[in-house]
């Protein structure tokens, strides 16, 4: 069991999709004759379940959603993962946290296999003790990020009820991260470099909102007591 943990969202927090998600969704919509919304709406699709976001678009039927997701997923796996970029300072931050004994996890609405593959491609997989994602079938809805965070806690050897009693913090860029963390009594640090509209994170109840990896490190230091360094050779599993 871990005694101090930081749980990170993926897209918009650790990794900048660099247009891979919005461009991929737009291409899938065009391929099926659906009008493409403006860039601001496409960016709002980063964070919540894709199937849920697609339902809000005119002309998208329940029957069409699996085809749109399959089309999007193929292009994203083929090109989007490699086009994404780790945000500045994130790799160094994760290394420092591991050296300080903090267990690290990812909780993302991206399907688990895709999340693991993206972390591998971006050179981040070795930092994490746990990776929790949504069902590989993206058509299967999930109502909130709470269950995904609960899965991350479980992979770390914690029960979903432990979040409020142990030093655990969530880091994310959307209100879904804040709300999901709150369900388990966990504070959430918001990151300003992601995809939340102005004021969203504060309104959702984020502990604070940071503008750089350096500020994020300071806030994690404030919220999590530092443990002794890991034994030599310790690594992610």
Residues with catalytic roles: 9
Strand partners, 195: none
8 A C-beta contact, residue 124 and residue 94: yes
User: Which parts of 142-237 are beta strand (E)?
Assistant: 168-172, 187-191, 208-210
CA atoms within 13 A on the CB side of 133: 17
Residue 114 tokens read as 């895709």
Query: How far is the C-alpha of 217 from the C-alpha of 88, rounded, in Å?
Result: 13
Strand partners, 191: 210
């Amino acid at each position: 069991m871990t005694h101090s943990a930081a749980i990170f969202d993926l897209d918009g927090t650790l990794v900048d999709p660099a247009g891979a998600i919005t461009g991929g969704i737009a291409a899938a919509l065009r391929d099926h004759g659906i009008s493409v919304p403006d860039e601001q709406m496409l960016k709002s699709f980063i964070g919540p379940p894709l199937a849920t976001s697609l339902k809000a678009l005119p002309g998208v039927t329940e029957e069409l959603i699996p085809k749109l997701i399959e089309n999007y997923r193929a292009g994203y796996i083929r090109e989007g993962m490699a086009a994404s970029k780790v945000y500045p300072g994130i790799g160094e931050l994760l290394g420092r946290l591991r050296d300080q004994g903090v267990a690290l996890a990812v909780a993302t609405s991206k399907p688990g296999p895709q999340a693991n593959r993206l972390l591998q491609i971006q050179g981040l997989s070795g930092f994490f003790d746990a990776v929790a994602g949504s069902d590989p079938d993206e058509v299967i809805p999930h109502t909130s990020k709470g269950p995904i965070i609960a899965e991350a806690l479980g992979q770390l050897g914690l029960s979903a009820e432990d979040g409020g009693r142990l030093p655990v913090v969530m880091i994310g860029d959307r209100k879904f991260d804040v709300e999901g963390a709150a369900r388990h009594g966990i504070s959430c640090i918001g990151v300003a470099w992601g995809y939340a509209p102005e004021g969203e994170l504060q309104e959702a109840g984020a502990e604070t909102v940071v503008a750089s990896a350096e500020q994020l490190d300071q806030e994690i230091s404030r919220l999590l007591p530092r443990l002794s360094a890991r034994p030599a050779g310790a690594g992610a599993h």
